[in-house]
A and B are shown apart, each in its own frame.
Chain A
């Protein structure tokens, strides 16, 4: 177990993504405070390099939160987001880093429960895996 709080950064779209975060808060949901969100207009804006650089800067885990794929405000943005996350996951596997550190999530603005699920999910991953390099070198 790591001896510091998990460091988790989420790239969250300004449409359904952030609305679901907002609704969660206003519905009284509580979740772990280890999450920090960077807003993007659409998860299609997110580049693999953003996710990797966040890990380089010390994040234990990174996620991307966008609209449901069939209801993306910009039509295909969250599909693009998913593809970018998938590519980063495969690169992480290739260098011996756990691909679960990076994840894609989708929500609609009415899903008040979703963000606390996401937070809890990512905190578990970060707590289990610890910072990169803390488990002594991967494979």
Chain B
């Protein structure tokens, strides 16, 4: 899922400083799960900000709540009154949520409370690691199920570079060398022949390098007949 991390409180404070009424909106999905923007983190942030104001002898109003999924228009529209009444919206969702609010209410100032970091998995409670870069053309069936695009610092396609040392990456010795892991995995599966396969240069146009991506399922789109009057504006 999407993994995000709360911005340092000092940075958040600076972003909202010019505004008297700050409305903090979190999300119950990915960011709640990675402990960055769920209801508890929203409450904690609101408390900390209030304490900051108290400490500095200022007045600033904070109000916080969460949406089921901040990137879905219907859920954002449910709290339209609160958004319209805000001086500034501090989004404690990933950037997708923050932008959804901004796109729906372009005249409102929306600031991000989180740094959206990556697609990651929980390795253990409290530890999330990056496993996918969203390249749009998955090849992990050729690499024993391990993605070299995301897990290799150089996104190498055909084996490790010279910097692979004792199974670790020269960029950061705490990172496992993806190709070392791939080799061991293929060995386990008795498919080392895949190490000899030469993968041609990657077609990057399916990744972000090809520009912002839009994916369409024609069969899922609502026909004009299906769209009810009030949703037409969406």
Question: With A and B bound together, what is the CA distance between A137 and B44 in angstroms?
Answer: 20
- Number of B residues near A (Cβ < 8 Å) is 17
Contacts of B219 in A (CB 8 A): none
Minimum Cβ distance to chain B for residue A95 (Å): 4
Residue of A52, A96, A137, A138 near B47 (CB, 8 A) is A52
Contacts of A133 in B (CB 8 A): 54-57
Minimum Cβ distance to chain A for residue B194 (Å): 43
Minimum Cβ distance to chain B for residue A133 (Å): 5
Contact B51 A56 (CB under 8 A): yes
Question: With A and B bound together, what is the CA distance between A97 and B44 in angstroms?
Answer: 15
Residue of B10, B43, B44, B55 near A132 (CB, 8 A) is B55
**Is B15 positioned at the interface, with any CB of A under 8 Å from its CB?**
no
Question: With A and B bound together, what is the CA distance between A49 and B43 in angstroms?
Answer: 7
Question: With A and B bound together, what is the CA distance between A109 and B212 in angstroms?
Answer: 62
Contact B57 A56 (CB under 8 A): no
Contact A52 B52 (CB under 8 A): no
Minimum Cβ distance to chain B for residue A97 (Å): 5
Contacts of B168 in A (CB 8 A): none
Contact B56 A137 (CB under 8 A): yes
**Is A92 positioned at the interface, with any CB of B under 8 Å from its CB?**
yes
Contact A92 B48 (CB under 8 A): yes
Contact B47 A49 (CB under 8 A): yes
Question: With A and B bound together, what is the CA distance between A95 and B20 in angstroms?
Answer: 18
Question: With A and B bound together, what is the CA distance between A136 and B56 in angstroms?
Answer: 6
Question: With A and B bound together, what is the CA distance between A96 and B55 in angstroms?
Answer: 8
Question: With A and B bound together, what is the CA distance between A34 and B47 in angstroms?
Answer: 24
Minimum Cβ distance to chain B for residue A78 (Å): 18
- Residue ID in chain A nearest B35 by CB atoms: A87
Minimum Cβ distance to chain B for residue A45 (Å): 14
- Residue ID in chain B nearest A87 by CB atoms: B44
Question: With A and B bound together, what is the CA distance between A33 and B29 in angstroms?
Answer: 45
Which B residues between 33 and 57 are near A, CB-CB below 8 angstroms?
40, 43-44, 47-52, 54-57
Q: Looking at B10, B44, B50, B55, which has the most chain A CB atoms within 10 Å of its CB?
A: B55
- Residue ID in chain A nearest B47 by CB atoms: A52
Minimum Cβ distance to chain A for residue B87 (Å): 20
Q: With A133-B56, A137-B57 in contact, is A95–B40 under 8 Å at CB?
A: no
**B contacts, CB < 8 Å to A:** 8-10, 13, 40, 43-44, 47-52, 54-57
9 contacts between A and B (CB under 8 A): A47-B40, A55-B51, A91-B44, A94-B10, A95-B51, A96-B55, A96-B56, A132-B51, A133-B54
Q: What are the nearest 3 A-B pairs in CB distance? A: A52-B47, A94-B9, A95-B52
